[in-house]
């Protein structure tokens, strides 16, 4: 079974430029998460989707960040314009309602963003 796929793996941009990250969750996983992980810290949830609906986006800085999950499968996270403080690893994860006990989240390899 293929895992969570993310691209690009690395991105370097200048501040004020836009950037987009793409995520393809595990097939059949209805829940998709975007996390931001700063160096030496744990992941912090940005937004959670149940199918195509964003059910928790309270931590998403809506002035510059946006996300979408059209058709309830792939998702895109966008930052426009990027700031120096946005440098981090952006992780995508997915989980399935079929795994009812744990709702274990499976993580992708992440996109390491560097804003210069």
Which residue, 91 or 115, is less far from other proteins as judged by CB?
A: 91
Identify the sign of the CA torsion 42, 56, 86, 13: positive
Binding site for other proteins (CB under 8 A): 4, 40-45, 48, 55-56, 91, 101-110, 112
Least CB distance to other proteins at residue 28 (A)? 17
Which residue, 14 or 104, is less far from other proteins as judged by CB?
A: 104
Least CB distance to other proteins at residue 80 (A)? 26
Least CB distance to other proteins at residue 15 (A)? 24
Which residue, 61 or 106, is less far from other proteins as judged by CB?
A: 106
**Phi-psi group of 2: left, alpha or beta (phi > 0 → left; psi -120 to 50 → alpha; rest → beta):** beta
The full DSSP string for 37-56 is E-TTS--EEEEEEETTEEEE
Least CB distance to other proteins at residue 110 (A)? 6
Which pairs from 5-8 meet CB under 8 Å and 24+ separation? Answer: 5/108, 6/90, 6/91, 6/92, 6/108, 6/109, 6/110, 6/111, 7/111, 8/111
Which residue, 55 or 84, is less far from other proteins as judged by CB?
A: 55
């Amino acid at each position: 079974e293929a895992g969570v796929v993310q691209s690009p793996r690395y991105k370097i941009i200048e501040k004020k430029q836009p950037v987009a990250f793409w995520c393809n969750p595990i097939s059949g996983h209805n829940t998709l998460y975007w996390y931001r992980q700063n160096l030496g810290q744990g992941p912090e949830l940005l937004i959670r989707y149940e199918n195509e609906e964003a059910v928790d986006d309270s931590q998403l800085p809506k002035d510059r960040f946006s996300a979408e999950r059209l058709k309830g499968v792939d998702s895109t996270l966008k930052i426009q314009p990027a700031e120096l403080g946005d440098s981090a690893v952006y992780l995508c994860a997915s989980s399935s309602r079929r795994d009812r006990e744990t709702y274990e989240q499976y993580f992708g390899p992440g996109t390491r963003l560097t804003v210069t």
